Structure 1
Amino acid sequence: MTLENPGARELTIRVAGQPDERVLENNALHAVVQVRDRTEKILYFEGEPRHEVAFMLREVKDDENLQVVLLQRTAENKFFRRNLDDALELLAGFPTTRDELYRYRALILGSVEASFFTHDQLEMIADFVSERGGTLLMLGGRRALADGGYKGTPLEDILPVVIPEPTAATPTERLVFVKVAPTPAGVNHPVTRIDGSAENSAERWDTLPAVSTTNLITELKPGATELLQGSVVAGAGDPADRVVLAFQRYGKGRALVLGVQDTWLWQMDATVPIEDQSHETFWQQLLRWVVTETPDAVAAAPDRASVEAGEPVTLEATVLDAGFVEVNGAAVNAQVTTPIGDVREVPMEWSVSEDGKYTASFTPEMDGIYEVSVEAGRDTTSLGTAATSLRVAPGIEEFRDPYQRRSLLERVADETGGRYYTPESADELPEDLRFTGGGVTVTEERDLWDMPILFLFLAGVLGAEWAYRRKRGMA
């Protein structure tokens, strides 16, 4: 499914009811997605000229939502730059400050040795993943992974694979060719489905030629997911199966390894038909996926994704600066657009208990999709914007999630003076109703002499009766 138009879009998934099904309200699931139409910047740093660079850039050059900024080392302290926003971008080479690196949503490291970077830069890359929430993609190559000296560096911790100890073997001695195939976890993944359905994609992978690697990557870290695996079909290196594509979450971001060095063969090998788009589809889907979950400096969301009309909603926003440090005391304003197009301004207040967090409340008055735009600034500087949405509709939680919440029922019974009954104790209910007062019933006893008005009334009645009987001669 492809959503073409930007903005909030409601998706409804339904299943047909069964002939004897009584409850149909839970046969539909609603979800609101935010479709963005903007350019996502990716920094690709390559340590040497190689074909992989040119073919990868060619495959995504027509994608208006991706901007791959290339920084390629051509000689010592000399770099080739491409796809820049301005002439000053990356003028001094690889970023040396967090503000400079954090403007990108993903970072690709090609065949470049760890010793090229300072220790501060390596720590900054690790923070780019863990604190900024960006994605790191490390490609295979003769200067990558263990062969590039990354064992024992800050990047070793964030990568999803186990980096072995480097060896004295030459790249030629380590070279193997692997036949790539999706793993069970990768069969239905959006990156590996290069031909529509999972079945067609599996057949397409089977037709693609083998690719090469010099990196001995055979073991995943706990919690990592392998999407593509490679079976060695030729070469002088270790014959063990290779991890080709794997990822893991690390802190707020993700780290990936694509452990081969010439995926361009999937496009240019003599056995690949000219009309085959496997290489192009793979790179487009991979790069779109690596930026999908990267957070912005300003983020906003309602405390609940769906509410009923007339139910208060709390909007929450997180505001960070260019270095992704929390900002307090910013001017944050939310603009709420109703389903009929009316616009309401809702100022957001800083939550003193949490740095960088702002909240505001409003009450939707009609069913439909409410779109929310949040803008944050400090002094005359704009810190960023965020967009979110809210679905307002009658609730059906009791149909979707109808299990008994015993602890809640017991607490309500206890707080209201009642009692929780099970099927085994239900026969006691009639007797309890007969002799037990309700949770809101209060019984109070008072002596008559403590109630003067009633006492005088009764005394007056008795005195009147005595006077009447005496008058009639009955006393």
Structure 2
Amino acid sequence: MTFWDQLLEWLLKYPLTWFGQGELGLSNASWYVFALTCGGLGVLALLSARLNLRAWRPWRDLLGLTFLRTLALSLLLLCLFQPVLLRPADTQQRASVAVLLDDSLSMGISMGITDNDQTRADFIRTQFNPDDGPLAQALGRDFDLALFRFGLGTELVERADTLTFTQAGTDLAQALTYLEHALSGVALAGVVVVSDGGVRSGTALQASAQRLKAAGVPVYTLGLGQERFARDLEISAVQLPAKALRDSTVQAQIQIRQRGFGGREVPLTVLQGQKILSQRMLELSDSTLQTLSLPLHLEEAGPMLLHFELPLQADETVTANNQREVFIEVLDQREKILYVEGEPRFELKFLRRAVADTPNLQVVTLLRTGDSKFYRLGIDDPEQLQNGFPVTEEELFQYRGLIIGNVEASFFSAEQQRMLVDFLGRRGGGVLFLGGKHAFAEGGYADSPVAETLPVVLDTPRSGYQREVQLLPTALGRKHALSQLASVDDDAADNLAHWQQLPAVTIVNPLFQSKPGAAVLLQAEAPNLLGLAYQRYGRGISVALTAQNTWVWQMHADVAPDNQSHEIFWRQLLSWLVSETPQRIEVSPASGQVLAGAETTLPVQIVDAAYRPLSGASVELQLIGPSGQEQHLLLPEQARAAGSYSASILTPEAGLYELQIKATANGEELQRIAYVNASATGEEFYRAELQADVLRRLARDTGGTYFTAANAEGLARAIQPTPATAMTVQHYELWDMPLLLILLLLALSLDWAFRRWRGLR
């Protein structure tokens, strides 16, 4: 090293090459703050110099004095901010292996490999026992071993025998993200995941895998269990609407999975508490998966947990998946529907009569009797609809549903037509369009904005068209609650027979084609006319019923006096039309299902009277648990999401939680009661076979290897035992280096010399 190199190292305190390998930083602030502070010091130095120069002096004196004083103050400030050199350093250490052990409920399922009925949990305890566990000892010979339990959360554990296997979920993506932060700076030779693969996969898991691959950390997966059970019966899924009206019928779509029981006949039972809502004998198909549509009549109101169950079969691998609990909120509230009719007709009379005894449906009718003359039925007060169809969104959006009868499009102004579109798209209401000579294309709707909301394609108007047809449920319609005319205890064949016995109806609107995404529930066979179709539009639902005289289902001579098909059809149709219409306060999750023992983010959406997002509201939540314990929370509004509020709720025990929400804004107070059900087991016992594909993909994507219990002894040999290099960042202080002191003294000396030279004080 030359003299000049030694001198430079003394001035800088550290070798010059170190500065090329690292970067400069500040311990007490950022460079941005330092620059702003220096600017402020410069302004103060300028003012100070100007005050000291009482007599007129050239600008070069003022600027020179300001520059030198600012330089001196900035150097002093730099020392106070404690500059450091951030330099990466390589430290050789023994490589570590992180082992993620699945601590969820599904680990209690049998491994199914030997006759000793060892569970997946037993395998983990045996293999990873630090005292004599074969895998723990094999890995510990070459690596520092770190054990973690994961389920809904992740935690470092000392011993595998401390795992409880009681967590109701398996979030592997969260566990891998936890490791990234917890083991930052640790030399990782790899990560071992021991699980059955029944994890929450998706984009989050893929993102975690990509980050580990980029960091050069392979993931080795050890799959536990059987990829295919020999004998098992499972209710895989039950789909129900989130809400329904009291005394209505809903259709449950039930998915059943079986292994080894094809051809067997078993009873499917639906319970509400101790009350049997429905029981149906089911013949299990030879295929693995089958779907059953089951109508359920809901006579009682309130939050309900419906219990679906199949009897246990001999030699089943999993016994906890023969049942499911599904939450549904049955509303006992009066749903207001506005029915606009262009002329007196029997359809209006018998529709109103069909739902007259249904306390949860209020059909408010606006009947045109002449030019600007209306007859109003079912109104709440004399001022309601006194000027005809609503002209403001606030007035129209008070209704939960609309029925557009035999009335032409020109009856509505351009603004009212736009409001109809927004009633569907923004307000989320249900709109039912009825057939008639002034409806659909024949009523001029093809050229109106309303046409895009319809579930049917409007052809060229055909005045004078008329067909007598019998409407029957389509294959999709037979699975829908709307088509359930028979008793819920009758089977699908009995229900179809009810439809076949109904008289023909008249169609004057020839509609043959539904829009993409629309569902056709009723159809005539010859000609192939659409009878009833619906589609989602925005937040709402648009329904087209092309028949103009369904009243014949009650009044035709061939219909028995005690036949209730017409009444049942209209009660079902109107109840379904408004069952999912949103309120001004909406709560997620819409399914009403969370996990017991977990922390859940609860999003709440609030809208104003025009159903636009309501910002700036004060939102309070009172959460009442199954045992009566309460949580009081404030819900802040989410940034960049107007009208969206959220908070994290804790559901420590299983059962039904009541959510009492109060929102205050602009002097208006809104209230809503909602419910969530905290499940003790979640999805842990469903699809509980070894999901080998998930684990294989994770290992492949990160450069690791997939193992099973049969070849687990090769796991330790697959991980490279070479010492690893951990990259750490060293901080070297620079505030006391000689160069800074010399520069500070030089700046002060130059200031003194400049003032003497220019004759300044």
What is the aligned partner in structure 2 of residue 311 from structure 1? 598
Task: Summarize deviations over 1:314-338 as a string: whole Å, max 9, x none.
Answer: 2211000110010111121112111
In the superposition, relative to structure 1, how do residues 18 and 345 fare at CA in structure 2: closer, same or farther (>3 Å)?
A: same
Distance of 1:279 and 1:193 partners within structure 2: 11
For residue 129 of structure 1, give the secondary structure of its aligned residue in structure 2. Answer: helix
Distance of 1:275 and 1:287 partners within structure 2: 21
Distance of 1:409 and 1:280 partners within structure 2: 56
Q: Which range moved further: 129-138 or 282-291?
A: 129-138
- 1:22-421 equivalences in 2 (<5 Å): 22-167=317-462, 169=463, 171=464, 174-196=465-487, 197=490, 198-231=492-525, 240-302=527-589, 305-397=592-684, 399-402=686-689, 403-404=691-692, 405-406=694-695, 409-410=698-699, 419-421=704-706
Following superposition, the deviation at residue 435 of structure 1 comes to 3.4
Say which structure, 1 or 2, has more relative contact order (CA 8 Å, 6+ apart).
2
The letter for the 2-side match of 1:182 is P
Task: Summarize deviations over 1:265-321 as a string: whole Å, max 9, x none.
Answer: 110111111000000000000000101111111111249854444321222110001
* Matched-pair contact (CA < 8 Å) for 1:300–1:386: no
TM-score (norm 1): 0.84
Following superposition, the deviation at residue 392 of structure 1 comes to 3.9
What is the aligned partner in structure 2 of residue 431 from structure 1? 717
What is the aligned partner in structure 1 of residue 202 from structure 2? none
Distance of 2:609 and 2:392 partners within structure 1: 11
The letter for the 1-side match of 2:561 is I
Distance of 2:688 and 2:591 partners within structure 1: 16
- 1:430-449 equivalences in 2 (<5 Å): 430-432=716-718, 435=721
Distance of 2:366 and 2:442 partners within structure 1: 21
* Matched-pair contact (CA < 8 Å) for 2:426–2:612: no
Q: Which range moved further: 384-393 or 347-356?
A: 384-393
In the superposition, relative to structure 1, how do residues 341 and 158 fare at CA in structure 2: closer, same or farther (>3 Å)?
A: same
| Identical-residue share of aligned pairs (%) | 39
For residue 350 of structure 1, give the secondary structure of its aligned residue in structure 2. Answer: coil
* Matched-pair contact (CA < 8 Å) for 1:320–1:383: no
Q: Which range moved further: 155-164 or 339-348?
A: 339-348
Task: Summarize deviations over 1:2-57 as a string: whole Å, max 9, x none.
Answer: 34443321122122333222112222222111221111111100000001101000
Following superposition, the deviation at residue 193 of structure 1 comes to 1.0
Task: Summarize deviations over 1:382-439 as a string: whole Å, max 9, x none.
Answer: 234241323241344254354242378449x96xxx94335699675342469367x9
Distance of 2:442 and 2:589 partners within structure 1: 47
Distance of 1:162 and 1:15 partners within structure 2: 44
The letter for the 1-side match of 2:721 is F
Distance of 1:442 and 1:97 partners within structure 2: 67
Distance of 1:407 and 1:347 partners within structure 2: 44
Following superposition, the deviation at residue 367 of structure 1 comes to 2.2
- How many residues end up aligned between the 2 structures? 427
In the superposition, relative to structure 1, how do residues 396 and 111 fare at CA in structure 2: closer, same or farther (>3 Å)?
A: closer
What is the aligned partner in structure 1 of residue 254 from structure 2? none
The letter for the 2-side match of 1:189 is H
For residue 248 of structure 1, give the secondary structure of its aligned residue in structure 2. Answer: strand
Distance of 1:191 and 1:398 partners within structure 2: 33
* Cα RMSD (Å): 2.6
What is the aligned partner in structure 2 of residue 452 from structure 1? none
Distance of 1:176 and 1:396 partners within structure 2: 51
Distance of 1:391 and 1:385 partners within structure 2: 19
Q: Which ranges of structure 1 fall in alignment gaps of 5 or more residues? A: 233-239, 445-475
Q: Which range moved further: 384-393 or 122-131?
A: 384-393
* Matched-pair contact (CA < 8 Å) for 1:375–1:384: yes
Following superposition, the deviation at residue 175 of structure 1 comes to 1.7
For residue 25 of structure 1, give the secondary structure of its aligned residue in structure 2. Answer: coil
Q: Which has the higher helix share?
A: 2
* Matched-pair contact (CA < 8 Å) for 1:26–1:396: no
What is the aligned partner in structure 2 of residue 12 from structure 1? 307
* Matched-pair contact (CA < 8 Å) for 2:472–2:500: yes
In the superposition, relative to structure 1, how do residues 253 and 151 fare at CA in structure 2: closer, same or farther (>3 Å)?
A: same
For residue 49 of structure 1, give the secondary structure of its aligned residue in structure 2. Answer: coil
Distance of 2:621 and 2:378 partners within structure 1: 34
In the superposition, relative to structure 1, how do residues 308 and 180 fare at CA in structure 2: closer, same or farther (>3 Å)?
A: closer
For residue 400 of structure 1, give the secondary structure of its aligned residue in structure 2. Answer: coil
Distance of 1:85 and 1:436 partners within structure 2: 82
Distance of 2:480 and 2:593 partners within structure 1: 28
* Matched-pair contact (CA < 8 Å) for 2:409–2:445: yes
* Matched-pair contact (CA < 8 Å) for 1:44–1:107: yes
Following superposition, the deviation at residue 261 of structure 1 comes to 0.8
* Matched-pair contact (CA < 8 Å) for 1:42–1:66: yes
* Matched-pair contact (CA < 8 Å) for 1:72–1:79: yes
Distance of 1:131 and 1:304 partners within structure 2: 21
* Matched-pair contact (CA < 8 Å) for 1:40–1:105: yes
Task: Summarize deviations over 1:348-400 as a string: whole Å, max 9, x none.
Answer: 11112311011112222322211212222214312342413232413442543
Q: Which ranges of structure 2 fall in alignment gaps of 5 or more residues? A: 1-295, 729-761
For residue 415 of structure 2, give the secondary structure of its aligned residue in structure 1. Answer: helix
* Matched-pair contact (CA < 8 Å) for 1:8–1:371: no
Distance of 1:13 and 1:134 partners within structure 2: 31
For residue 477 of structure 2, give the secondary structure of its aligned residue in structure 1. Answer: coil
Distance of 2:592 and 2:478 partners within structure 1: 30
The letter for the 1-side match of 2:640 is S
* Matched-pair contact (CA < 8 Å) for 2:593–2:676: no
For residue 187 of structure 1, give the secondary structure of its aligned residue in structure 2. Answer: helix
TM-score (norm 2): 0.53
Following superposition, the deviation at residue 153 of structure 1 comes to 1.1
